[in-house]
């Protein structure tokens, strides 16, 4: 006889099935966390929409949708160590950047947009050249960034 649990008066479920269901539930929770860990609440600034107009609005909308943060880059300058780029691909195929800054510390901290824009024609190569001159790919999660 194998190990099983009895629920109610007649329902018997093998212990292996219970363990399997728990593992599947934990895996689903981990995937959901990883897909949204770089999507943090950001207070949008006015500079981007005043200077970069519709491009900025499209980037803000794009990055607010689940799973749309393609990459995160952290500034290399120690004076800008709390600033990050988020990258997304717009509906028209161009790539956009949003520059955000972590303001405050601990439970009082929040993310504020400094600007959002499309680099030159919006190709990934142009974006990559622009970003790599200022930042490195960030391997952590923005929710726990300094």
Task: Name the more confident of 22 and 126.
Answer: 126
Q: How many CB atoms lie within 10 A of CB 11?
A: 8
Distance of CA 111 to the CA centre of its chain: 12
Banded pLDDT at 5 (limits 50, 70, 90): low
pLDDT at 35: 44
Q: How many CB atoms lie within 10 A of CB 71?
A: 17
pLDDT above 90 for 45: no
pLDDT above 80 for 33: no
In terms of average pLDDT, the best of 23-27, 76-80, 118-122 is 118-122
What average pLDDT does this structure show over 48-54?
Answer: 81
pLDDT at 87: 97
What pTM does this model have?
0.70
All residues at 6 or more sequence positions from 109 whose CB lies less than 8 Å from its CB, including other chains: 102, 103
Phi-psi category of residue 48: left, alpha or beta, with phi > 0 → left and psi -120 to 50 → alpha: alpha
Distance of CA 126 to the CA centre of its chain: 21
Partners of 115 in the beta sheet? 99
All residues at 6 or more sequence positions from 94 whose CB lies less than 8 Å from its CB, including other chains: 118, 121, 122, 123
């Amino acid at each position: 006889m194998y190990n099983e649990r009895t629920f109610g008066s007649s329902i018997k479920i093998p212990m292996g099935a219970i363990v399997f269901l728990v593992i599947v539930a934990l895996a689903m929770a981990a995937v959901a966390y990883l897909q949204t860990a770089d999507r943090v609440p950001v207070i949008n600034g006015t500079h981007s929409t005043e200077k970069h107009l519709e491009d900025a609005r499209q980037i803000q909308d794009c990055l607010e949708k689940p799973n749309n943060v393609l990459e995160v880059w952290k500034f290399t300058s120690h004076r800008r160590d709390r600033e990050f780029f988020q990258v997304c691909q717009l509906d028209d195929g161009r790539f956009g950047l949003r520059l955000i800054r972590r303001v405050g510390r601990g439970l009082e901290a929040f993310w504020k947009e400094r600007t959002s824009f499309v680099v030159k024609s919006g190709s990934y190569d142009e974006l990559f050249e622009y970003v790599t001159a200022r930042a490195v790919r960030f391997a952590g999660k923005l929710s726990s960034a300094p």
